[in-house]
Amino acid sequence: MPTSFTVVPVDDGRKSAQEDTDENNVLKEEDEEAVGAGNPRESSPFINNTDDEKGNLYDGKNMALFEEEMESNPMVSSLLNKLANYTNLTQGVREHEEADEDEGAKKKTVKSPQMGTFIGVYLPCLQNILGVILFLRMTWIVGTAGILESFIIVSMCCSCTMLTAISMSAIATNGVVPAGGSYYMISRSLGPEFGGAVGLCFYLGTTFAGAMYILGTIEILLTYILPGAAIFKTEVKELQAEAMLNNMRVYGTCCLTLMALVVFVGVKYVNKLALVFLACVVLSILAIYAGVIKTIFEPPVFPVCLLGNRTLQNHDFDKCLKTDIINNVTVTTKLWSLFCKGPELNASCNEYFTLNNVTEIPGIPGLTSGVISENMWSSYGPAGMLVEKPIEAETASDGSQDIYMPYVVNDITTFFTLLVGIYFPSVTGIMAGSNRSGDLRDAQRSIPIGTILAIVTTTIIYLSCVVLFGACIEGVVLRDKFGDSVKGNLVIGTLSWPSPWVIVIGSFFSCCGAGLQSLTGAPRLLQAIARDGIVPFLEVFGHGKANGEPTWALLLTALICESGILIASLDAVAPILSMFFLMCYLFVNLACALQTLLRTPNWRPRFKYYHWALSFLGMSLCLALMFISSWYYALVAMLIAGCIYKYIEYRGAEKEWGDGIRGVSLNAARYALIRLEEAPPHTKNWRPQLLVLLNLDSELSVKHPRLLSFTTQLKAGKGLTIVGSVLEGTYLTKETEAKRAEQNIKSAMTAEKTKGFCHVVASSNLRDGISHLIQSAGLGGMKHNSVLMAWPASWKQSNDPQSWKSFIETVRETTAAHQALLVAKNIDSFPHQERLTEGTIDVWWIVHDGGMLMLLPFLLRQHKVWRKCKMRIFTVAQMDDNSIQMKKDLQMFLYHLRLNAEVEVVEMHESDISAFTYEKTLVMEQRSQMLKQMQLSRTEREREAQLIHDRNTASHSALNDKADATPERVQMTWTKEKYFTERNRNREAIANMAVRDLFNMKPEWESLKQSNVRCMHTAVKLNEVVVCKSQDAHLVLLNMPGPPKNSEGDENYMEFLEVMMEGLNRVLLVRGGGQEVITIYS
């Protein structure tokens, strides 16, 4: 490129004040208008926004080539300043919470979220995972299943949640996740049907979890803190269990009412107390570990009384003796009176009592006692089975009276799968971090780290507890669910230090807090579902108090929670909520697996340690655990989800079924096409659906097969590809050729591994044929949204201007049809199947036209050919722009888009127009004038020839003489060869002429159109910086400026594009289709 010399600046103040005003008005209206095919703009703090306070930013020479479309495609430099004030909290508030202030009131300043990984994710997950099952049922599970099988149960459940957390981390880091947690992630990943079904399942699971925590709270209160507070009491042993259930129902209902009132009146106090409840959990766990260590040196004294090998309930006697000697007199004890008909030594006693002696053993023998070997194996049995120690004992002939004796027995039938269902709720709660994503400083970093660390921590706690409980506590005590053998103490409390009350009080407040959290979270989840409007009969629950609190949703939640409390058994409620949580986790894994396998363009998680196989394994494990826990509950949960899915999908719609498999397939295809046509795709689902325009040679073979190779690399077999071509003529005369051309194109598609459809059109002229393809290719919703074609490299050499005129009309028609346009220069030099070595794909982002320039390199780099290429993004800063801030904002934008790219801001200062630019413009206008004269002379000649032929008044020679003498033929002396010679001569002389005329404008320059000079200046300056930075890039992507609004300057437009791409090997010109194609949101 020659050196630029300064000449007289161009006066660029030709815009009227009215035009400036109009342009500003357009910029102000930008945010309010929908762009392209009726699509609303993506709600974003920086996409499709312009700053009307800056006024007209585009006056000047550097960007004159893009001026005509500035009102729809703003400059990148004016767009990036929107990044500075971005916060992901705002979007979550907008989508899931009503504004506290009235419409039109001044907005409050939203503080940026500042919660880190530890406070924002790790601790909430820890609080939600650790809870009631650990304190009330863990020891019983270890005693019943044995250490080995308990280890398997814990490992299976924790593996399930770990695999789900990996999938959830991928989804949660795939863009900004507003509040809504798993419901938001699933509904936005799998669609409203799955989202609604699974969201409601998750809501029911959370609601039943509230019931479980309330039942746990009442069990601790009535069994371990205030046993005397029971309303229903009975001395009959077989009726005691029923009385306890009634007590649970009454107290549970009262507790639920109280908690619901607390949530209704002051939910903010619940959130403030969350750390207090968490502290109770942590202190309780520390007390357990301290107690385990203490058992090595000094085991706590909790004696267990055995009669033979049977464990006795130690409530109604103080000494583990049949008789006692007081003042040298043998007297019977309270234990004697429990088994005999009187206190006398000769009274009639139970046979088993008579045959066996009572022994006292330590309930907590300690870590070094060797009891771990006894607790290694399982001890399942039916309800009513006696809890026995595996030692020898005499057997009674009649055991019919055993149920009335104070033995410790199984209250329910136990088996492996039941314990899985009861235990699983203790590993739920992994969504607590993602639910708080709007409050996190960096959600994409905090959610994966915090959630996975919390799962690792709790897994270690659970697995260590399995081993430590089995190694420290006597087996019969472990199997004693309610601690009857240790004077009614909480079994896990007997192990703790300094006192069992640490665990009792800690677990009580922990269960209270967890119940309050469930009653706080579940109504908000239901409110989010209701506000989405996907389940019409739930819309009433989207309303609430003036400040957005979900009053009606809280009422429904309390009613459903009450149904769980009326069940009254913790062991019966736990498998129910296990089903709903497992179904939710199953669909989180399914969403991640499908997104990974489908490779949707918006699937770009920042969390990289996921794989579709892990997601499928997690999904399979969830499904297996559902049926292992309870096959009938699993079927009911799946039936509920299926009914909701079908209701959302088919509400009010009738489905017709044909006969046979073909009829079903055709109907499914028709239904899918109709569904696709209902609405345009959302930004995150947008991918290029290509119409590839091919040129054919005289043999009807594909002229540029590399265009198909590039299509394959860009599409990777995903989405729609239509390969089209046009034959000039009528279909009746070109039918055979059209079929042959179609066959040749299909062969080329097979050779280039391009998956798609072929469409050859016969038309009277090329321009109309291409127009027909753009308008009518595809079917229903399966239509193209982008057009790919080769740059007409020989447009200057062609005698027929229709070649480049057809190209410009194609540009105009794709713009009118709101379709993107990709134009590949030097397509034959593009890579075929060979993998490119280290290199770059350079993106020159001049104006924002929907994000196509960002999306295309990402899609290309998914293919093996371009995988090793790095992505570089260049944008242009003008004189008034802060290039340092622009670079920071662009890096932040790319971070939110989950794109890895080097960023560089190139400064293009306002400079005077060089002599070289003037000469380029002069040559361009001379050539344009020559072409017009050639076209005019040809038209005149044809018209006169027709007149002469009709009149038969002259000979052929006279006709030729007349034609030669025609004034319009004067310009024919400027032949094509002479034009090229003159152009080359002008190029060589430019530098010398510029020096000579440094302070003098050439007379011919003064007659040039100033708009052409400014556009040429843009093309020359832009070409200079692009060639300087990207000459060695494997591929350069450039914004393609639009053609002039009137067709007078079409040939000049082609020259501008040619100059802009001069000196570059592989170039892809890109025009957006008028809609956003890339988003920061999940």
Residue 787 has pLDDT above 60, yes or no: yes
Query: What average pLDDT is seen over the chain?
Result: 78
What's the pLDDT band for 873 if we cut at 50, 70, 90? very high
What's the pLDDT band for 93 if we cut at 50, 70, 90? very low
Phi, then psi, of 630 in degrees rounded to 5: -170, 105
pLDDT at 402: 80
Q: Name the β-bridge partners of 759.
A: 724
Q: Of 72-81, 161-170, 851-860, which range is least confident?
A: 72-81
What's the pLDDT band for 177 if we cut at 50, 70, 90? low
pLDDT at 717: 61
**Over residues 1027-1046, mean pLDDT:** 88
pLDDT at 6: 37
pLDDT at 376: 92
Structural contact between residues 356 and 393, judged by C-beta atoms closer than 8 angstroms: yes
Tokens of 528: 């989010």
Q: Name the β-bridge partners of 331.
A: 324
Indicate the burial class of 560 (C-beta count within 10 angstroms; 0-12, 13-18, 19 or more): middle
C-alpha–C-alpha distance, residues 438 and 445, integer Å: 13
Structural contact between residues 723 and 759, judged by C-beta atoms closer than 8 angstroms: yes
Please give the residue that has the higher pLDDT: either 656 or 305. 305
In the chain, % of residues over pLDDT 90: 25
C-alpha–C-alpha distance, residues 492 and 426, integer Å: 16
DSSP letter for 547, please: T
DSSP letter for 118, please: I
C-alpha–C-alpha distance, residues 355 and 774, integer Å: 98
SS3 820: strand
C-alpha–C-alpha distance, residues 486 and 303, integer Å: 7
C-alpha–C-alpha distance, residues 43 and 91, integer Å: 8
Structural contact between residues 77 and 878, judged by C-beta atoms closer than 8 angstroms: yes
Please give the residue that has the higher pLDDT: either 46 or 532. 532
- Quick one: residue 488, left, alpha or beta (phi over 0 = left, psi -120 to 50 = alpha)? left
Indicate the burial class of 843 (C-beta count within 10 angstroms; 0-12, 13-18, 19 or more): buried
> How far from 730 is each of 229, 668, 765, CA to CA, in Å?
96, 36, 9
Q: For residue 498, is the peptide bond before it cis, meaning its omega torsion is within 30 degrees of 0?
A: yes
Query: What percent of the residues of the chain are helix, what percent strand, and what percent coil, each to the nearest 5?
Result: 60, 10, 35
Structural contact between residues 158 and 428, judged by C-beta atoms closer than 8 angstroms: no
pLDDT at 841: 93
Residue found by looking up tokens 């479309």 in the block: 69
In the chain, % of residues over pLDDT 70: 77
pLDDT at 95: 35
C-alpha–C-alpha distance, residues 818 and 689, integer Å: 13
What's the pLDDT band for 977 if we cut at 50, 70, 90? low
* Beta-carbon contacts of residue 921 (< 8 Å; ≥ 6 apart): 1008, 1012, 1013, 1016
pLDDT at 104: 43
Residues 731-754: b if buried by 16+ CB within 10 A, e if exposed: eeebeeebebbbebbeebbeebeb
680-700 per-position pLDDT tens digit:
677 777 788 899 999 998 888
Q: Of 92-101, 377-386, 463-472, 607-616, which range is least confident?
A: 92-101
Please give the residue that has the higher pLDDT: either 177 or 87. 177
Q: Calculate the CA dihedral of residues 724, 730, 731, 733 and round it to 10 degrees.
A: -120
55-91 per-position pLDDT tens digit:
444 445 567 777 777 677 777 776 676 544 444 333 3
Residue 314 has pLDDT above 50, yes or no: yes
C-alpha–C-alpha distance, residues 516 and 1024, integer Å: 66
Strand (E) or helix (H) holding 530: helix 500-532
**Over residues 1005-1009, mean pLDDT:** 58
C-alpha–C-alpha distance, residues 947 and 942, integer Å: 9
Please give the residue that has the higher pLDDT: either 297 or 994. 297
Winning range, highest mean pLDDT, from 143-152, 628-637, 920-929, 938-947: 143-152
Residue 12 has pLDDT above 60, yes or no: no
In terms of pTM, does the model score above 0.85? Answer: no
pLDDT at 725: 93
Tokens of 182: 């798993």
Residue 458: closest CA among 489, 432, 436, 440 = 432
C-alpha–C-alpha distance, residues 151 and 139, integer Å: 12
C-alpha–C-alpha distance, residues 858 and 606, integer Å: 14
**Over residues 962-981, mean pLDDT:** 42
Residue 54 has pLDDT above 70, yes or no: no
